[in-house]
């Protein structure tokens, strides 16, 4: 068994792709997006598995040729499966169904030729590889078709992206990034077929492509692209630190004991391991602070604004003051111009929302306190338009579905994007109503994290303010 960059990355690609293929299709077996993605991920996983076996061939040329044809059997169909996924994602699958069938038939023709010398005739040495396939005219025609398919899919994504907004726009952005990664990986893999000495080192990035695709179709609250970059940077640096530390210790063990696996090394490891863990913990904390403050500044702003809001809310016992802090914090951190804070008013027999503060709304949102109280009793932490649509689609209870439709109508009427509850352990105290982001952006996972933290801080102050308000009204009465 050979262990190097190419075999290890191929096996990791196989495991990552097949696991995600199964998880995504199990999440929603009726959704064309999930099904088409799983087909694509399965093809990628089987290509990777054959790639692993191919790179393990040391002597038998016929066996190397066999595994090359085996991996190409799955690779050939990947462009058609990718187009299938993009059509499902852009909601044009029904419209372009006949075209998709034609594309599948075209690549099926290439699949039939794969078993003959017309597609792969032979394998020969190149760079450090003993057996690498040589391109034929039929293979070159397939590669051209592959490029056309990718560019056409990219055209569909860009077209949909320009007219999209909110979560759909962010979803398409993730898929576009995945497309760029996949195209680079694919191009580098085929360079040696034409005698170009470019090693396929980009294979290590295939899991990122598959993970991005899976993340894009299974999530409704996405990480901001900047945050994703920050997390990848953070874990990459930690991985490099662990990698260098391992070889540093191995080299030190060899000098001290003559063998990295000597018995004395195991005893010393009992001391080294805890020390390494403490150092790694300290480095990760310092690195996280550095990246947030110096490289990804918006995360640092979020942290500072939340701390500022917490300090202000501790001092206030007025609903107006609490609402001001909420609105100012959201305006400073999130790109939105429409915010309203509504508190529950129990005057009379019915409990209604009373608008305490609002900015950006041309009319006062008249929302039903009873409906929203019922919704948030089910422990939902927020209402978003996209998630509400999905919840309605998945709900089988007719009565509850009617309630959800009523909430949806109110949200659409006032063009509300998100509602965050302010509630104590039992009752709804109020809600924070937010319009769409500027520039047709979407609220990210980090935005919702900030809103939830702000809500948790504000609900304590709001509860105290409501008690104080009732006491004042009692004195006046």
CA 370/CA 344 separation, integer angstroms: 10
Domains identified in the chain and CATH numbers: 5-219 (1.20.1070.10), 229-295 (no CATH), 316-476 (3.30.450.40)
DSSP letter, residue 336: B
Report whether pLDDT(256) > 80: no
Which pLDDT band, with edges at 50, 70 and 90, does 427 fall under? confident
SS3 383: strand
pTM score of the predicted model:
0.61
**For residue 433, what is the enclosing H or E element?**
strand 428-434
Return the structure tokens found at 134.
């040589």
Q: Are 473 and 254 in contact (CB under 8 A)?
A: no
Q: Which residues contact 158 (CB under 8 A, 6 or more apart)?
A: 176
CA nearest 436: which of 337, 363, 370?
Answer: 337
CA 292/CA 299 separation, integer angstroms: 6
Range with the largest mean pLDDT of 24-33, 103-112, 214-223: 103-112
216 burial via Cβ count (<10 Å: 0-12, 13-18, 19+): buried
Return the structure tokens found at 476.
């006046």
371 burial via Cβ count (<10 Å: 0-12, 13-18, 19+): middle
CA 112/CA 101 separation, integer angstroms: 16
C-alpha distances in angstroms, 243 versus 225, 238, 246, 300, 467? 27, 9, 5, 29, 57
Q: How many CB atoms are closer than 10 A to CB 118? A: 14
Mean model confidence pLDDT for the chain: 79
CA 225/CA 272 separation, integer angstroms: 37
Which pLDDT does position 83 carry in this prediction?
A: 93
CA 4/CA 294 separation, integer angstroms: 36
Report whether pLDDT(210) > 90: no
Query: Residue 418 — φ and ψ, nearest 5°?
Result: -145, 145
CA 142/CA 119 separation, integer angstroms: 9
Each residue's pLDDT tens digit, 63-103: 888 888 998 999 999 999 999 999 988 888 888 999 999 99
């Amino acid at each position: 068994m050979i262990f190097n960059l190419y075999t290890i990355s191929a096996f990791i690609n196989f495991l990552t792709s097949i696991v995600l293929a199964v998880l995504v299709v199990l999440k929603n077996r009726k959704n064309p997006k999930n099904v088409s993605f799983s087909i694509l991920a399965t093809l990628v996983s089987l290509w990777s598995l054959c790639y692993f076996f191919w790179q393990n061939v040391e002597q038998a040329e016929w066996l190397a040729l066999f595994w090359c044809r085996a991996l190409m059997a799955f690779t050939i169909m990947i462009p058609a499966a990718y187009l299938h996924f993009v059509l499902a994602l852009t909601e044009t699958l029904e419209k372009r169904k006949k075209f998709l069938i034609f594309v599948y038939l075209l690549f099926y023709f290439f699949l039939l030729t794969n078993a003959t010398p017309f597609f792969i005739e032979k394998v020969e040495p190149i760079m450090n590889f003993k057996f690498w396939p040589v391109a034929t005219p039929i293979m070159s025609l397939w590669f051209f078709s592959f490029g056309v398919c990718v560019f056409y899919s990219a055209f569909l994504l860009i077209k949909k992206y320009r007219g999209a907004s909110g979560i759909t726009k962010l979803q398409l952005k993730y898929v576009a990034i995945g497309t760029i990664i996949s195209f680079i990986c694919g191009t580098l893999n085929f360079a040696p077929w034409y005698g170009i000495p470019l090693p396929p080192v980009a294979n290590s990035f295939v899991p990122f492509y598959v993970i991005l695709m899976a993340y894009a179709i299974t999530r409704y609250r996405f990480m901001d692209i900047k945050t994703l970059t920050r997390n990848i940077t953070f874990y990459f640096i930690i991985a490099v630190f662990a990698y260098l530390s391992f070889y540093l210790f191995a080299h030190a063990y060899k000098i001290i004991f003559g063998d990295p696996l000597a018995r004395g090394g195991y005893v010393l490891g009992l001391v080294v391991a805890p020390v390494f863990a403490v150092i790694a913990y300290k480095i990760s904390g310092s690195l996280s602070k550095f990246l947030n403050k110096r490289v990804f500044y918006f995360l640092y702003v979020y942290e500072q604004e939340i701390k500022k809001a917490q300090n202000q809310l501790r001092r206030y016992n007025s609903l107006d003051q609490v609402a001001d802090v909420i609105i100012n914090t959201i305006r400073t951190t999130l790109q939105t111009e429409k915010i309203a804070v509504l508190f529950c008013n129990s005057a009379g027999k019915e409990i209604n929302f009373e608008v305490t503060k609002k900015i950006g709304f041309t009319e006062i949102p008249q929302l039903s306190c009873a409906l929203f109280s019922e919704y948030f009793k089910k422990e939902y932490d927020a209402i978003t338009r996209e998630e509400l649509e999905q919840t309605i689609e998945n709900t089988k209870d007719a009565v509850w579905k009617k309630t959800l439709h009523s909430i949806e109508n109110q949200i659409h009427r006032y063009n509300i994007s998100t509602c965050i509850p302010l509630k104590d352990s039992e009752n709804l105290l109020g809600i924070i109503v937010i319009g769409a982001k500027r520039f047709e952006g979407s609220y990210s996972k980090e935005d919702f994290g900030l809103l939830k933290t702000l809500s948790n801080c504000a609900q304590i102050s709001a509860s105290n303010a409501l008690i104080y308000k009732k006491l004042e009204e009692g004195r006046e009465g």
